[in-house]
Amino acid sequence: MATDFPTPVADTAPALVPEVPKKRHKFILWKWSLVATGIVVAYIIWLFAAGLYQGWHQCDGLVHQFHQELNAADYETIFQASKDSTLVTPQDHKEFVKILRGVHTKLGNATSESLTNLRVNVTTDGTLTIANFASTFEHGKAEETFTWIKSRGVLKLYRYHIESDAFLGN
Protein backbone atom coordinates (compact mmCIF):
# COMPACT_ATOMS: atom_id res chain seq x y z
CA MET A 1 0.00 0.00 0.00
CA ALA A 2 1.39 3.20 -1.03
CA THR A 3 0.49 6.49 0.53
CA ASP A 4 0.92 9.71 -1.15
CA PHE A 5 2.21 12.58 0.90
CA PRO A 6 1.30 15.98 -0.31
CA THR A 7 4.27 17.98 -1.43
CA PRO A 8 4.42 21.40 0.12
CA VAL A 9 3.97 24.33 -2.09
CA ALA A 10 6.80 26.83 -1.85
CA ASP A 11 4.49 29.80 -1.27
CA THR A 12 2.50 28.26 1.52
CA ALA A 13 5.22 26.34 3.35
CA PRO A 14 5.97 27.41 6.90
CA ALA A 15 9.42 28.86 7.40
CA LEU A 16 11.79 26.49 9.13
CA VAL A 17 14.19 29.28 10.10
CA PRO A 18 12.78 31.96 12.46
CA GLU A 19 12.57 35.40 11.03
CA VAL A 20 15.44 37.65 12.17
CA PRO A 21 14.18 41.01 13.41
CA LYS A 22 15.53 44.05 11.71
CA LYS A 23 18.50 45.63 13.45
CA ARG A 24 17.36 48.47 15.69
CA HIS A 25 19.48 51.13 17.38
CA LYS A 26 20.24 49.81 20.84
CA PHE A 27 20.09 52.17 23.80
CA ILE A 28 23.34 51.89 25.71
CA LEU A 29 22.43 52.31 29.38
CA TRP A 30 25.93 52.42 30.81
CA LYS A 31 26.80 55.60 28.91
CA TRP A 32 23.81 57.41 30.39
CA SER A 33 24.61 56.10 33.88
CA LEU A 34 28.14 57.51 33.57
CA VAL A 35 26.74 60.88 32.52
CA ALA A 36 24.27 60.87 35.45
CA THR A 37 27.01 59.86 37.89
CA GLY A 38 29.24 62.65 36.60
CA ILE A 39 26.47 65.21 37.09
CA VAL A 40 25.79 64.00 40.65
CA VAL A 41 29.51 64.08 41.55
CA ALA A 42 29.91 67.58 40.09
CA TYR A 43 26.88 68.78 42.10
CA ILE A 44 28.27 67.32 45.35
CA ILE A 45 31.67 68.94 44.74
CA TRP A 46 29.93 72.24 44.03
CA LEU A 47 28.01 71.96 47.32
CA PHE A 48 31.18 71.32 49.31
CA ALA A 49 33.04 74.13 47.59
CA ALA A 50 30.17 76.55 48.19
CA GLY A 51 30.06 75.52 51.89
CA LEU A 52 33.78 76.07 52.30
CA TYR A 53 33.62 79.41 50.52
CA GLN A 54 30.76 80.55 52.75
CA GLY A 55 32.60 79.26 55.84
CA TRP A 56 35.74 81.13 54.81
CA HIS A 57 33.86 84.42 54.49
CA GLN A 58 32.05 83.97 57.80
CA CYS A 59 35.22 82.93 59.66
CA ASP A 60 37.25 85.79 58.29
CA GLY A 61 34.69 88.33 59.50
CA LEU A 62 34.21 86.66 62.89
CA VAL A 63 37.95 86.52 63.61
CA HIS A 64 38.35 90.17 62.65
CA GLN A 65 35.47 91.06 65.00
CA PHE A 66 36.99 88.86 67.74
CA HIS A 67 40.31 90.72 67.43
CA GLN A 68 38.60 94.11 67.53
CA GLU A 69 36.81 93.15 70.74
CA LEU A 70 40.03 91.68 72.17
CA ASN A 71 41.89 94.91 71.33
CA ALA A 72 39.16 96.89 73.12
CA ALA A 73 39.41 94.52 76.13
CA ASP A 74 35.72 93.75 75.63
CA TYR A 75 35.97 90.19 76.92
CA GLU A 76 32.36 90.13 78.09
CA THR A 77 31.07 90.67 74.53
CA ILE A 78 33.27 87.82 73.29
CA PHE A 79 31.87 85.57 76.01
CA GLN A 80 28.27 86.62 75.29
CA ALA A 81 28.78 85.79 71.60
CA SER A 82 29.63 82.25 72.67
CA LYS A 83 26.99 82.00 75.41
CA ASP A 84 24.89 79.29 73.71
CA SER A 85 27.86 76.99 73.19
CA THR A 86 30.06 75.20 75.72
CA LEU A 87 31.02 78.27 77.77
CA VAL A 88 27.99 78.34 80.03
CA THR A 89 28.98 77.99 83.67
CA PRO A 90 30.19 80.90 85.84
CA GLN A 91 33.49 79.08 86.37
CA ASP A 92 33.98 78.82 82.62
CA HIS A 93 33.10 82.50 82.28
CA LYS A 94 35.79 83.53 84.79
CA GLU A 95 38.38 81.20 83.23
CA PHE A 96 37.60 82.38 79.69
CA VAL A 97 37.90 86.08 80.62
CA LYS A 98 41.14 85.34 82.49
CA ILE A 99 42.61 83.65 79.40
CA LEU A 100 41.57 86.48 77.08
CA ARG A 101 42.97 89.07 79.48
CA GLY A 102 46.27 87.13 79.62
CA VAL A 103 46.46 86.87 75.82
CA HIS A 104 45.83 90.60 75.44
CA THR A 105 48.32 91.52 78.17
CA LYS A 106 51.08 89.29 76.83
CA LEU A 107 50.64 89.80 73.07
CA GLY A 108 49.11 93.28 72.89
CA ASN A 109 46.66 94.33 70.20
CA ALA A 110 46.04 92.14 67.17
CA THR A 111 47.23 93.79 63.98
CA SER A 112 46.50 91.19 61.28
CA GLU A 113 45.21 87.68 60.72
CA SER A 114 45.48 85.26 57.84
CA LEU A 115 43.47 82.08 57.34
CA THR A 116 45.75 79.04 57.03
CA ASN A 117 43.29 76.15 57.24
CA LEU A 118 39.53 75.64 57.27
CA ARG A 119 37.58 72.48 58.06
CA VAL A 120 33.86 71.87 58.36
CA ASN A 121 32.67 68.84 60.33
CA VAL A 122 29.02 67.84 60.31
CA THR A 123 28.11 65.75 63.36
CA THR A 124 24.96 64.78 65.20
CA ASP A 125 25.68 67.60 67.66
CA GLY A 126 25.76 70.19 64.89
CA THR A 127 28.03 71.66 62.26
CA LEU A 128 31.48 72.62 63.51
CA THR A 129 33.66 75.05 61.56
CA ILE A 130 37.32 74.91 62.57
CA ALA A 131 39.59 77.67 61.29
CA ASN A 132 43.31 78.12 61.88
CA PHE A 133 44.73 81.62 61.62
CA ALA A 134 48.28 82.95 61.60
CA SER A 135 47.86 86.17 63.54
CA THR A 136 50.21 89.05 64.22
CA PHE A 137 50.05 90.98 67.48
CA GLU A 138 52.05 93.97 68.73
CA HIS A 139 54.40 91.74 70.75
CA GLY A 140 54.60 88.62 68.63
CA LYS A 141 52.96 86.15 66.32
CA ALA A 142 50.47 83.46 67.21
CA GLU A 143 48.67 80.47 65.75
CA GLU A 144 44.99 80.66 66.67
CA THR A 145 42.38 77.94 66.29
CA PHE A 146 38.76 79.03 66.36
CA THR A 147 36.00 76.44 66.50
CA TRP A 148 32.46 77.60 65.85
CA ILE A 149 29.24 75.67 66.11
CA LYS A 150 26.28 76.56 63.95
CA SER A 151 23.34 77.41 66.21
CA ARG A 152 20.07 78.60 64.66
CA GLY A 153 21.90 79.53 61.48
CA VAL A 154 24.50 81.64 63.33
CA LEU A 155 28.08 80.65 64.15
CA LYS A 156 28.81 80.70 67.90
CA LEU A 157 32.30 80.47 69.35
CA TYR A 158 32.69 76.91 70.64
CA ARG A 159 36.43 76.74 71.42
CA TYR A 160 39.41 79.06 71.25
CA HIS A 161 43.03 77.91 71.28
CA ILE A 162 46.14 80.04 70.86
CA GLU A 163 49.84 79.17 70.66
CA SER A 164 52.67 81.69 70.67
CA ASP A 165 56.34 81.80 71.53
CA ALA A 166 55.60 85.03 73.41
CA PHE A 167 54.02 82.94 76.16
CA LEU A 168 57.36 81.19 76.80
CA GLY A 169 59.13 84.40 77.89
CA ASN A 170 58.69 86.14 81.22
Half-sphere exposure of 158 (CA within 13 A, CB side): 16
Other CB atoms within 10 A of residue 156 CB: 19
* pLDDT value, residue 135: 92
pTM of the model: 0.67
124 within 8 A of 148, measured Cβ to Cβ = no
What residues have CB less than 8 Å from 136, skipping those under 6 apart? 110, 111, 112, 113, 142
Tell me the average pLDDT across 11-26: 57
Give the model confidence (pLDDT) of 55-114 as tens digits.
Answer: 667 778 888 898 899 899 888 888 887 765 554 555 677 888 888 898 998 999 999 998
Query: For domain 29-167, which architecture applies?
Result: Roll (3.10)
Instruction: Please give the Cα distance from 76 to 93 (Å, whole number).
Output: 9
**pLDDT at 119 exceeding the cut of 60:** yes
